[in-house]
C-alpha cells in the first residue's frame, strides 16, 4: 500500500518529537529536562515502534512512567495568543476558520468510503486494515495545509500549538496504551477465568432472571475492570451466557450478544480504565476533575443497564 | 491471587494515586504473581504498547486544532451560536448527540470525536449558547459541566449507535466468538437486536440533556431575565 499505518505513526511521532525540543528549551518549565524527555521518548515509541525490540520498548515505557511517578512532568509556557489577538484574527478570517475543522470529518469519511477499494496497479492506496485511522491522518494533514495557507502562519506555529495541547493532556495521553497493556497481562495471567468462576458460583443458576442479571451486570463490571467491553465479552459469554443462558434456558445467541455487549458499554461509560473515552477527553477539555466526564455519564449508563437487563429478560421468557 | 492486580487498580483509583503509575504497578504485580519472569513482563509492556499505538491517533488533530484556536476558532464557534436565539447548551449538545448516534448507525463512526469535534466546536458552541442566554460571566463550574456533557454525548452517541451497523468490530468479534464455540449466529440479527437499546439511549440521554437546560435555568435564570430585559 502507498500510505501505511506506520507512516501515520511517523507523522504523529514527528510532531511529538519536534514539540519536545521546545520543551527542553522552555525556561519557564521547572522540570523542563524530564518533561522534554517524556515527550521525546513518547515520540520515539510512536515513530520507531515496529523497529525497537519489545523488551527495549518496555524499558522506554517504564522510564516514562517513572518520570510521571516522580513528578517530573510539568507544564511550561506556550506564548499563547492573547484574547485581543485572537479576536482580531477572528474578525479577519470569520467563518473561514471553521473550514479546516470541518474538512477533518468530511475528508475522513470520503477516504473511508470512497478510497476503500481503490488501487494503483496492484497496491491499495490506503492501509486496508486501518482505513479510518489512515483517512483521519490524511484529513488532518490536508486541513493543516489549508489552515497554514489561510492564516499565512509560520509552519512552526502548528508544532508549537500541538505541543501546547499535548502538554495540557500530559500523562493521560499515554494512559490508554498502558491500560491496554494491563489488559493483555490480565488475560495472560488468567484474571478473566477467575472472575467468571466467581460470578457463576454466586448466582442462583435456576432462575432466568438472576442469570440474565448476572450476565449483564457481570459484563458491565468486568468491562469497568478491563476498560474494554471487547475484553469482557468472551470471558463473560463463555463463563455465564454459553453454559447457562444458551445451554440451560435456550436463549437466542443473537439476542444475548447484542444486548450483552451494550451492557458492557454501560460499564465503559463508568470507568477511568476506558481512558481514551473518559480521561483523555477530560484532559483535552481542560476539566479540573479528571472523572467529570464519567460522573456525567453514570446516570445514563445505569438507566441503560437496567433497560438491557429488562429487555434481555423479557425477550428470553 | 491474580485478582491482586484488580485490587491494586481499584485502590489506586480510590486513593487517587497517579493512574499511570497505578496501572503499571498493577501490571507488574499481576505478572509476577502469575509467575512470569520480569523480562517477559517488560516485553509484554513493550509489545502491547506498540500494538496499541493507534490510540494515539488523536495527536494527528492537535496541530490543526491548535493552529485554528490561535486564530480564534473557539471564539468564532461561540459567536455563531450566540446569534441563534433558540440555541441553549443542552440543545446544541443534543443536536450533536443525535447526529453522532445516527451517523454511527450508518457506519460513519468517523464523524465526530473528542479531539476533532468536541474540543474545537461542540463545547465552545454549547458554552457560547449559555453565554448568550445567561451573560458572559457564567461560573466556571457550569462551564466545566457543559464541557463534560459535550464529551459524554460523543461517547454515548457513538457507543450505542455503532452496533446497529453490521460491519463494526463488535459485531464481527461476537460472530467470531460464536463461530469458535460452534453456536449458530447471524450478524444481521445481532445488529437488529441492537436497535431497541440504541433507541432507548437516544431517548434517555436526550431527556437528560433537556434536564441540563432546566438545571442551568434554575441556577442562572436570574441573569437571563436581566439580559432579556436589557435587550428588548
DSSP secondary structure code for residue A123 in this structure: E
- Residue A200's pLDDT is what? 79
The answer for A289, left when phi > 0, alpha when psi is -120 to 50, beta otherwise, is beta
Q: Once rounded to an integer, what is the mean pLDDT over residues A304-309?
A: 97
* Spatial CB neighbours of A155, under 8 Å, sequence gap ≥ 6: A148
Residue B1 has a pLDDT of 76
Residue B202, pLDDT score: 96
Nearest to A254 among B64, B181, B186 (CB): B186
* A55 interaction partners in chain B (CB closer than 8 Å): 39, 42-43, 46
Share of chain A above pLDDT 70, in %: 99
Q: Nearest-CA distance from A204 to chain B in Å?
A: 23
pLDDT digits (tens, 9 = 90+) for A245-279: 999 999 999 999 999 999 999 999 999 989 989 99
- Grid cell 493512574 in the structure block, residue: B19
Residue of B nearest to A186 (CA): B30
Q: Does B144 touch chain A (CB under 8 A)?
A: yes
Q: What pLDDT does A76 receive?
A: 86
Residue B219 has pLDDT above 80, yes or no: yes
Q: How far apart are CA A156 and CA B66, in angstroms?
A: 12
Q: Which residues of A touch B183 (CB under 8 A)?
A: 242, 246, 253
What's the confidence (pLDDT) of residue B118? 94
Q: What is the model's pLDDT at position A1?
A: 57
Lookup result for grid cell 473518559: A278
- Closest partner residue to B110 among A136, A255, A311, by Cβ? A136
Rounded to the nearest angstrom, the minimum Cα separation between A220 and chain B is: 14
Q: What is the pLDDT of residues B121-168, one digit of tens each?
A: 999 999 999 999 898 889 999 999 999 999 999 999 999 998 888 767
Chain B touched by A194 (CB under 8 Å)? yes
Q: Average pLDDT over chain A, rounded to whole?
A: 90
Question: Could you read off the pLDDT of B83-126 as tens digits, one per residue?
Answer: 888 899 999 999 999 999 998 998 888 788 899 899 999 999 99
Which residues of chain A are within 8 Å of residue B57 when distances are taken between CB atoms?
8, 12, 133, 136-137
Measured between beta carbons, the chain A residues lying within 8 angstroms of B155 are 268-269, 277-278, 281, 293, 297
Per-residue pLDDT, A208: 93
Percent of chain B at pLDDT > 70 equals: 95
Beta carbons of A140 and A104 less than 8 angstroms apart: yes
How confident is the model at residue B229, as a pLDDT? Answer: 43
CB-based contact B5 A259, cutoff 8 Å: no
> Chain A, 43-62: which have a CB under 8 Å from a chain B CB?
45-46, 49-50, 52-62
Complex ipTM more than 0.90, yes or no: no
Those residues whose C-beta lies under 8 Å from the C-beta of residue A244, and which sit 6 or more positions away, are: A200, A205, A211, A215
- What is the per-residue pLDDT across A272-294, written as a single tens digit (0 to 9) for each? 989 989 999 999 999 999 999 99
Which of B34, B66, B194 is nearest residue A162 as measured by Cβ atoms? B66
More confident residue, A299 or B177: A299
Q: How far apart are CA A165 and CA B122, in angstroms?
A: 17
A262 and B208 in contact by Cβ < 8 A?
Answer: no
What is the 3-state secondary structure of chain B?
Answer: CCCHHHHHHHHHHHCCCCHHHHHHHHHHHHHHHCCCCHHHHHHHHHHHHHHCHHHHHHHHHHHHHHHHHHCCHHHHHHHHHHCCCCCCHHHHHHHHHHHHHHHHHCCCCCCCCHHHHHHHHHHHHHHHHHHHHHCCCCCHHHHHHHHHHHHHHHHHHHHHHHCCCCCCHHHHHHHHHHHHCCCCCCHHHHHHCCHHHHHHHHHHHHHHHHHHHHHHHHHHHHHHHHHHHHHC
Q: pLDDT tier at B222 (50, 70, 90 boundaries)?
A: low
- pTM for the whole thing? 0.87
Residue among A178, A254, A293 minimizing CB distance to B151: A293
Long-range contacts of A112-121 (CB under 8 A, 24+ apart): A112/B108, A112/B110, A120/A2
> Are the CB atoms for B208 and B157 separated by under 8 Å?
no
Q: Which of A284, A291, A303, A305 to mutate to test the interface with B (most CBs of B within 10 A)?
A: A284
Given CB atoms, is A100 within the 8 Å cutoff of chain B? yes
Q: What is the pLDDT of residue A11?
A: 95
CA dist B183 to A178, A208, A213, A255, Å?
A: 34, 20, 22, 13
Contact B76 A90 (CB under 8 A): yes
Q: How many CB pairs under 8 A join A and B?
A: 396
Q: Does A74 touch chain B (CB under 8 A)?
A: no
Q: Is pLDDT of B224 > 70?
A: no
Coil, strand, or helix at residue A124?
A: strand
Contacts of B169 (CB under 8 A, 6+ apart): A230
- A211/chain B closest Cα distance in angstroms: 19
Name the 3-class secondary structure at A146: helix
Measured from the Cβ of residue A117, the count of other Cβ atoms closer than 10 Å reads 10
Would you state the pLDDT for residue B15? 86
What angle separates helix A156-169 from helix B62-70, to the nearest 10 degrees? 110
| Dihedral angle, C-alpha B160, A260, A192, A246, nearest 10 ° | -160
pLDDT tens column, B65-82: 999 999 988 889 888 888
- The backbone region for A281, taken as left when phi is positive above 0, alpha when psi lies in -120 to 50, beta otherwise, is alpha
Closest residue to B23, CB basis, from A136, A179, A292: A179
Q: How confident is the model at residue B12 (pLDDT cuts 50, 70, 90)?
A: confident
Interface contact A80, partner B, CB < 8 A: yes
Q: What is the pLDDT of residues A160-200, one digit of tens each?
A: 999 999 999 999 999 988 888 888 888 888 888 888 888 87
CA separation for the pair A61, A38 (Å, rounded): 9
Q: How confident is the model at residue A231 (pLDDT cuts 50, 70, 90)?
A: confident
A267 Cβ under 8 Å from any chain B Cβ: no
Higher pLDDT, A212 or A235: A212
> A117: which chain B residues are within 8 Å (Cβ-Cβ)?
none
Q: Which residues of B64-78 are buried (b: 16+ CB within 10 A; e: fewer)?
A: bbbbbbbbbbbbbbb
Q: What percent of chain B stands above pLDDT 90?
A: 50
DSSP A249: T
Q: Chain A contacts of B194, Cβ < 8 Å?
A: 258-259, 261-262
Q: Cα separations (Å) of B143 from A141, A192, B113?
A: 31, 40, 20
For A6-20, what is each residue's pLDDT tens digit? 999 999 999 999 999
Give, in order, the Cα–Cα distances in Å from A93 to each of A141, A153, A161, B119: 20, 13, 19, 20
Q: What is the pLDDT of residue B231?
A: 42
- The answer to whether A292 faces chain B, any CB pair under 8 Å, is yes
Strand-pair partners of A119: A124
Closest CA to B75 of A159, A95, A100: A95
Identify the band that residue B232 occupies on the pLDDT scale cut at 50, 70 and 90: very low
The proportion of chain A whose per-residue pLDDT surpasses 90, expressed as a percent, equals 57
The reply to whether A235 touches chain B by the CB within 8 Å rule is no
Is the pLDDT assigned to residue A111 strictly greater than 90? no
Here the cell at position A302 is 445505569
In chain A, the residue whose alpha carbon lies closest to the alpha carbon of B177 is A234
Each residue's pLDDT tens digit, A19-50? 999 999 999 889 999 999 999 999 999 999 99
Tell me which residue in B24, B111, B197 faces A307 most closely, judged by beta carbons: B197
Query: Which of B59, B77, B147 is nearest residue A285 as measured by Cβ atoms?
Result: B147
Amino acid at each position: 500500500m502507498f500510505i501505511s499505518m506506520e507512516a501515520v505513526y511517523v507523522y504523529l511521532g514527528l510532531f511529538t518529537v519536534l514539540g519536545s525540543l521546545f520543551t527542553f528549551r522552555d525556561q519557564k518549565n521547572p522540570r523542563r529536562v524530564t518533561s522534554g524527555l517524556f515527550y521525546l521518548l513518547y515520540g520515539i515509541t510512536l515513530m520507531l515502534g515496529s523497529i525497537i525490540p519489545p523488551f527495549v520498548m518496555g524499558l522506554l515505557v517504564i522510564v516514562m512512567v517513572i518520570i510521571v511517578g516522580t513528578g517530573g512532568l510539568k507544564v511550561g509556557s506556550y506564548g499563547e495568543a492573547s484574547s485581543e489577538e485572537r479576536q482580531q484574527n477572528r474578525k479577519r478570517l470569520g467563518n473561514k476558520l471553521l473550514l479546516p475543522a470541518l474538512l477533518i470529518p468530511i475528508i475522513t469519511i470520503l477516504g473511508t468510503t470512497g478510497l476503500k477499494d481503490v488501487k494503483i496497479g496492484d497496491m491499495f492506496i490506503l492501509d486496508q486494515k486501518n482505513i479510518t485511522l489512515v483517512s483521519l491522518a490524511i484529513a488532518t494533514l490536508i486541513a493543516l495545509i489549508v489552515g497554514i495557507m489561510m492564516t499565512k502562519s509560520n509552519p512552526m506555529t502548528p508544532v508549537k500549538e500541538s505541543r501546547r495541547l499535548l502538554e495540557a493532556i500530559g500523562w493521560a495521553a499515554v494512559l490508554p496504551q498502558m491500560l491496554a497493556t494491563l489488559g493483555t497481562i490480565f488475560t495472560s495471567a488468567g484474571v478473566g477465568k477467575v472472575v467468571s468462576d466467581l460470578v457463576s458460583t454466586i448466582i442462583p443458576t435456576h432462575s432466568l432472571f438472576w442469570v440474565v442479571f448476572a450476565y449483564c451486570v457481570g459484563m458491565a463490571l468486568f468491562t469497568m475492570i478491563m476498560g474494554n467491553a471487547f475484553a469482557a465479552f468472551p470471558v463473560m459469554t463463555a463463563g455465564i451466557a454459553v453454559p447457562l443462558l444458551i445451554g440451560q434456558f435456550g436463549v437466542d445467541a443473537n439476542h444475548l450478544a447484542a444486548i450483552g455487549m451494550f451492557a458492557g458499554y454501560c460499564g465503559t461509560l463508568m470507568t477511568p480504565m476506558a481512558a481514551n473515552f473518559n480521561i483523555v477527553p477530560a484532559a483535552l477539555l481542560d476539566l479540573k476533575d479528571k472523572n467529570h466526564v464519567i460522573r456525567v455519564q453514570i446516570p445514563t449508563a445505569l438507566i441503560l443497564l437496567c433497560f438491557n437487563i429488562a429487555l434481555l429478560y423479557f425477550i428470553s421468557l | 491471587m491474580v485478582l491482586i492486580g484488580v485490587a491494586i487498580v481499584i485502590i489506586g483509583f480510590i486513593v487517587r494515586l497517579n493512574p499511570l503509575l497505578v496501572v503499571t504497578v498493577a501490571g507488574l504485580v499481576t505478572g509476577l504473581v502469575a509467575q512470569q519472569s520480569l523480562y517477559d513482563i517488560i516485553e509484554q509492556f513493550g509489545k502491547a504498547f506498540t500494538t496499541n499505538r493507534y490510540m494515539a491517533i488523536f495527536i494527528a488533530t492537535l496541530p490543526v486544532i491548535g493552529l485554528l484556536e490561535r486564530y480564534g476558532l473557539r471564539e468564532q464557534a461561540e459567536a455563531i451560536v450566540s446569534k441563534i436565539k433558540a440555541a441553549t447548551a443542552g440543545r446544541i449538545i443534543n443536536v450533536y448527540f443525535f447526529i453522532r448516534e445516527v451517523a454511527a448507525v450508518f457506519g460513519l463512526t468517523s464523524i465526530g470525536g473528542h479531539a476533532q469535534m468536541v474540543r474545537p466546536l461542540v463545547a465552545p458552541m454549547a458554552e457560547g449558547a449559555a453565554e448568550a442566554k445567561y451573560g458572559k460571566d457564567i461560573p466556571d463550574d457550569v462551564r466545566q459541566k457543559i464541557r463534560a456533557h459535550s464529551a459524554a454525548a460523543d461517547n454515548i452517541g457513538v457507543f450505542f449507535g455503532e452496533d446497529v451497523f453490521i460491519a463494526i468490530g463488535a459485531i464481527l468479534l461476537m460472530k467470531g466468538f460464536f463461530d469458535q464455540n460452534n453456536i449458530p449466529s447471524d450478524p444481521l440479527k445481532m445488529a437488529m437486536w441492537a436497535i431497541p437499546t440504541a433507541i432507548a439511549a437516544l431517548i434517555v440521554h436526550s431527556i437528560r440533556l433537556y434536564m441540563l437546560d432546566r438545571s442551568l435555568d434554575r441556577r442562572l435564570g436570574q441573569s437571563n431575565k436581566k439580559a432579556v430585559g436589557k435587550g428588548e
